[in-house]
């Protein structure tokens, strides 16, 4: 499985659509978007921080393991770091697979592993950081 | 040998620093090193990594150059 992992301080730009094989039958895209309400409080956004080197390595390890369970053609993960305003994406995942089943399963498992084990943190902030 | 300690997110507030370089021995463990740096600070709910790999608090530092204190993660 082709694995691409990116971290960016900038708004996430979806990578261009590209099908590397004529055997791809499913293309899934997930956008994790910052919501206004967090535990009942209205926010302007969230601040994301990561141990980037370890986060990349940990996510690569998880994806290599998940690829044996849910064989797909490719996965592209982009996680935004720093300040992310409400309504913008903090996470983007695109998965290409032959059939929808393994793609959907890989997407769910990837997000679960990311939230449980990959050293990335979000911190609530009531207002944007000063410029 | 020297070891760079990194503290992230809530751990940065708990320990009072983001990064600190300390002297240690290969047989020291993360628990021993952090008790020396911040006596009395609870390690409960924290994980630890040596050179970007999770380990237990009682794993010898060995030849690692970096110790990361990892509070509960919340990415995504």
Q: Which two tokens stand for residue A74?
A: 């490719």
The full set of domain ranges for chain A reads 2-12+25-126
| H/E stretch holding B4 | strand B2-7
Q: Is B1 on the interface with A (CB under 8 A)?
A: no
Q: Is A93 on the interface with B (CB under 8 A)?
A: no
Considering the domain delimited by A2-12+25-126, tell me its CATH architecture. Answer: Alpha-Beta Complex (3.90)
Calculate how close chain B gets to A71, using CA atoms only, in Å.
Answer: 22
Instruction: Tell me the chain B residues in contact with residue A50 when contact means C-beta distances shorter than 8 Å.
Output: 75
Interface TM-score (ipTM) > 0.90: yes
Instruction: Tell me the chain B residues in contact with residue A89 when contact means C-beta distances shorter than 8 Å.
Output: none
Q: Is B14 on the interface with A (CB under 8 A)?
A: no
- What DSSP assignment string belongs to B33-70? HHHHHSTT---TT-EEEETTEEE-TTS--TT--EEEEE
For chains A and B, count residue pairs whose Cβ atoms are closer than 8 Å. 56
For A37-95, write each residue's pLDDT tens digit.
877 888 899 999 999 999 999 999 999 999 999 999 999 999 999 999 999 999 999 99
For B43-72, write each residue's pLDDT tens digit.
999 999 999 999 999 999 999 999 999 999
Give residue A124's pLDDT band: very low, low, confident or very high (50, 70, 90).
confident
Length of chain A: 131
B23: left (phi over 0), alpha (psi -120 to 50) or beta: beta
pTM of the model: 0.94
* Residues in Cβ contact with A127 at an 8 Å cutoff, skipping those fewer than 6 apart: A44
Sign of CA dihedral B24, B28, B30, B31: negative
Give residue A126's pLDDT band: very low, low, confident or very high (50, 70, 90).
low
């Amino acid at each position: 499985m082709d694995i691409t992992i990116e971290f960016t301080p900038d708004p996430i730009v979806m990578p261009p659509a590209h099908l590397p094989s004529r055997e791809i039958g499913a293309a899934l895209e997930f956008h994790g978007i910052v919501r206004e309400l967090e535990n009942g409080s209205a926010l302007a956004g969230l601040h994301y921080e990561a141990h980037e080197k370890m986060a990349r390595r940990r996510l690569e390890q998880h994806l290599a393991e998940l690829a044996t369970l849910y064989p797909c053609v490719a996965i592209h993960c982009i996680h935004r770091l720093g300040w992310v305003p409400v309504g913008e994406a903090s996470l983007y995942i695109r998965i290409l697979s032959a059939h929808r089943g393994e793609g959907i399963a890989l997407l769910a498992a990837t997000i679960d592993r990311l939230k449980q084990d990959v050293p990335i943190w979000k911190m609530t902030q009531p207002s944007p950081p000063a410029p | 040998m020297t070891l760079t300690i990194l503290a992230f997110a809530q751990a940065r507030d708990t320990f009072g620093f983001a990064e600190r370089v300390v002297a240690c021995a290969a047989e020291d463990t993360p628990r021993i090193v952090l008790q020396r740096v911040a006596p009395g600070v609870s390690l409960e709910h924290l994980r630890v990594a040596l050179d970007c790999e999770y380990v237990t608090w009682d794993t010898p530092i060995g030849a690692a150059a970096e110790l990361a204190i990892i509070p509960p993660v919340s990415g995504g």
